[in-house]
Structure 1
Amino acid sequence: MSRIYSLTQKALKSLFYLAGLTMLSNTAHGFEHQHTEFTSVLQKVVVVSEDGKQTRVNYAKLNEQPEVLNAYLDSLSAVTEQQYQTWTEGQQLSFLMNAYNGFTLKLIVDNYDDFSSGKAESIRDLVSIFKSPWKKKFFSLLGKKRHLDDIEHSMIRVWFSYPRIHTALVCAAVSCPPLRNEAFVEDKVIAQLDDQMKLFLSDDTRNTVNLKKTKVVLSPVFKWYSDDFEKGYQGFNKIEDLIQAYRLDIANDQQEVEFLKTQKFTVDYFDYDWRLNDISTF
Structure 2
Amino acid sequence: MYRLVLLIPTLLLIFSLSSCNLFSAAGLSSQGQPTKEVKGELTSTTANSAVNVDHSQWDKLLKKHVGPQGMVDYKGFQKDREALNAYLQNLSSKNPTDDWSVQELLAYYINLYNAYTVDLILDNYPVKSIKDIDGAWTKGIVPVGDRELSLGGIENGILRKMDEPRIHFAINCASISCPKLLDEAYTAAKINEQLDRAAREFINSDKNDIRANDPKVSSIFDWYKKDYTVNGKQDVIAYINQYSDTKINPSATLQYKNYNWDLNDQ
Which range, TM-score by smaller chain?
0.7 to 0.9
Alignment check: 8 A CA contact 1:123 1:173 kept: yes
Aligned mates of 1:88, 1:142 — CA distance in 2? 18
Aligned mates of 1:190, 1:235 — CA distance in 2? 20
Structure 1 counterpart of 2:189, from 182, 187, 190: 187
Alignment check: 8 A CA contact 1:207 1:218 kept: yes
Q: Tell me the TM-score normalized by structure 1.
A: 0.73
Cα shift readout 1:186-226 (whole Å, capped 9, x = no counterpart) = 021111111111000111x2112235xx2111111111111
Number of residue-to-residue matches in the alignment: 217
Equivalent residue letter for 2:131: R
Partner SS for 2:216: strand
> Which residue is equivalent to 2:211?
210
Cα shift readout 1:42-94 (whole Å, capped 9, x = no counterpart) = 0111011xxxxx3100001111221111101101111124xx33211101110
Structure 1 counterpart of 2:149, from 146, 151, 167: 146
Cα shift readout 1:129-172 (whole Å, capped 9, x = no counterpart) = xxx211122231143011111111111112x1101100001010
Alignment check: 8 A CA contact 2:130 2:261 kept: yes
Tell whether 2:132 aligns with 1:125: yes
Q: CA RMSD in A?
A: 1.7
* Superposed displacement of residue 244, structure 1: 1.8
Q: Tell me the TM-score normalized by structure 2.
A: 0.77
* Superposed displacement of residue 264, structure 1: 2.7
Q: Can you give the 5+ residue segments of structure 1 that lack an aligned partner in the other structure?
A: 1-29, 49-53, 252-256
Alignment check: 8 A CA contact 2:176 2:261 kept: yes
Structure 2 counterpart of 1:199, from 175, 198, 201: 201
Q: Report % sequence identity.
A: 32
Aligned mates of 2:91, 2:225 — CA distance in 1? 30
The structure whose Rg is larger is 1
Tell whether 2:36 aligns with 1:36: no
Equivalent residue letter for 2:91: L
- Structure 1 runs of 4+ off > 6 angstroms? none
Equivalent residue letter for 2:93: A
Cα shift readout 1:162-187 (whole Å, capped 9, x = no counterpart) = 01100001010010001001010002
> Which residue is equivalent to 2:113?
100
